[in-house]
């Protein structure tokens, strides 16, 4: 994955947070929106002619999100799945099922496709991971990346995939005072942002 340096270098803060609530409706508010198209290209709209709706991962600075607008990475895709089918804060039964299985080390994109960070090695408070994928609801898992954090040690702080190619992994160092965000555009190759 590639580290998300644009927002982080602009903010120059010591702590960052990552949040994902699933499908979001930002109405016509373009503040902080960074749209990502199906090819992985990013652009920030100046105005919105229609409501901004999509699966959004937000990068923010804890405690100052009123002063520093979060970077809201919004996946733009097929209108059929980017339109809300529930009212705000109303989860479907499938969302509830996924909420129960999604953790900081595991994320299900659908009821059959999921990604999981596996502990490969542990030593002196540091953890090394591999990344696995399932296409049968978790019955079988296949390792798709033996070192998703590119040799970095620490702990997993989150995993989110917006589709079968675009995903984000968070890592925190062993002391817990620093972290990194990784992004993939091809479903398995990760680079630090």
Q: How far apart are CA 74 and CA 186, in angstroms?
A: 17
pTM given for the model: 0.51
Q: Which residues of the chain have pLDDT under 70?
A: 1-9, 77-100, 123-125, 153, 174-176, 189-193
pLDDT at 118: 87
User: Contact 130/145 with Cβ under 8 angstroms?
Assistant: yes
pLDDT at 85: 42
Going by C-alpha positions, the residue among 147, 143, 149, 182 that lies closest to residue 166 is 182
Domain layout of the chain by residue ranges: 5-77, 93-192
Helices (H), the chain: 5-11, 79-82, 93-101
pLDDT at 115: 92
pLDDT tens-place string over residues 16-40: 788 887 778 888 888 888 888 777 7
């Amino acid at each position: 994955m590639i580290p998300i340096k644009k927002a982080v270098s602009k903010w120059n803060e010591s702590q960052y947070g990552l949040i994902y609530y699933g499908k979001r409706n930002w109405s016509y508010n373009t503040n902080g929106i960074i749209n990502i198209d199906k090819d992985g290209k990013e652009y920030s709209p100046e105005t919105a002619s229609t409501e901004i709706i999509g699966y959004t991962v937000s990068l923010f600075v804890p405690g100052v999100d009123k002063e520093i607008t979060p970077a809201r990475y919004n996946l733009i895709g097929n209108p059929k799945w980017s339109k809300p089918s529930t009212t705000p804060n109303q989860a479907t039964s499938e969302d509830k099922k996924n909420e129960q299985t999604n953790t900081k080390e595991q994320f299900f994109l659908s009821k059959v496709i999921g990604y999981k960070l596996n502990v490969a090695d542990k030593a002196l408070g540091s953890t090394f991971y591999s990344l696995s994928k399932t296409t049968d609801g978790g019955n079988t898992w296949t390792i798709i990346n033996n070192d998703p954090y590119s040799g970095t040690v620490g702990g997993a702080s989150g995993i989110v995939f917006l589709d079968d190619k675009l995903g984000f992994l968070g890592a925190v160092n062993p002391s817990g005072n620093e972290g990194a965000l990784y992004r993939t555009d091809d479903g398995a190759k990760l680079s630090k942002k």
